[in-house]
Chain A
Amino acid sequence: MARHVLLIEDEPNIAAAISFILSRDGWQVTTLAEGRTALARLRADRPDLLIVDLMLPGVGGLEIVQALRADPGLATLPVMMLTAKGQSRDRAAAEAAGVNLFMAKPFSNAEIVASARALVAGP
């Protein structure tokens, strides 16, 4: 069965790029452009991996991660966070919220695919 990833990213071109490379790697990719409906989708779809942008319109990436970590059914979901800011302060905040992997933009495609696989395979 194909591994399922939920991607929340507001820049349409970046979302297109990530979903292109991941689907080529055999993932089933669902994309959301904003954070408000994220939790509902997570509960409904039960994906294997969440890739979320830090700066999102409406509900931000950090808030989503905090909320899902508080949800017993989602607490163990692996989360990869993307950001274009990449300051150390943001990284610390993301780790405190429970992000498994923090990735700065721009990234290499190979890196994304490798990280996604590694996160789903488990620690």
Chain B
Amino acid sequence: MSVRKPPLFLARRSYRRRRLRDAARLLPVFGGFLVFLPILWAPAETGSRDTAPDGIYLFAVWAGLIVVAALMSVGLDRGSAEDAAGTEDEA
């Protein structure tokens, strides 16, 4: 699209940064999967009393997502500060 074509291959650092953005986009999808997973475990008919284990599982997932998001936000923040005007539509 643009006159100065984006380079075909990227330096290691910006390559990492782009994959980090991919990961940031995937995280909510992955998180959604984990949150909806309990649906598949206990169909209503079985009547098993699994509120406590479900709760523990959900809070564990929750904490895990928070930790991953925290780790990624540092890199994303630094990355976007470095190339504030960088193109966003890279694959």
Asked whether the complex places CB atoms of A and B closer than 8 A, the reply is no
Write the residues of chain A forming the contact surface with B, with a CB cutoff of 8 angstroms.
none
